[in-house]
Amino acid sequence: MSKLVCVVDDDELVRAKIAHDLEAAGFRPLEIDDSRQLSKVLAELPVHGVVLDLVMPDKDGVELISEIRRDWPGLRVVAISGGGRIGPDLYLQIARQMGADACLSKPVDPAALAAAMAA
């Protein structure tokens, strides 16, 4: 059975593209558009990993990484960012410091995404 990966991004097109790329790499993606839904899924399903946008309207991804590390420490976390107001580099650096396993800039390279989630 393929591994379940949550794709959390408020942009529907980005979510769909990443989900497509993960499915092509042999994962089973589940698209999620907000942090409340993610918490519920993580509590109820056996999730292998999360691809997490860092800039979202309801809760930023850095805060979510902290919560994931506290409540699900073994979960694979791949942080993604297009940068928002300050560019992706600083957001991704902070995500790495908070415990993200991998950090990728948008647009996300499908091969890099598959490698980051499989590691």
Q: What pLDDT, in 10s, does the model give residues 36-86? A: 899 999 999 999 999 999 988 888 888 999 999 999 999 999 999 987 666
The answer to whether residues 87 and 58 touch, using CB atoms and an 8 Å cutoff, is no
Q: Whole-structure pTM over 0.85, yes or no?
A: yes
Q: How far is CA 48 from the centre of its chain?
A: 11
Share of residues in the chain with pLDDT > 90 (%): 80
Q: What are phi and psi of 2, to 5 degrees?
A: -75, 155
CA atoms within 13 A on the CB side of 35: 16
Strands (DSSP E) along the chain, which ranges? 4-8, 28-32, 49-53, 76-81, 102-105
Number of domains present in the structure of the chain? 1
The CATH number that applies at residue 102 is: 3.40.50.2300
What pLDDT is recorded for position 101?
98
Structural domain range at position 25: 4-118
The residue among 36, 61, 37, 63 whose CA lies nearest residue 51 is 61
What pLDDT is recorded for position 37?
92
What pLDDT is recorded for position 117?
97
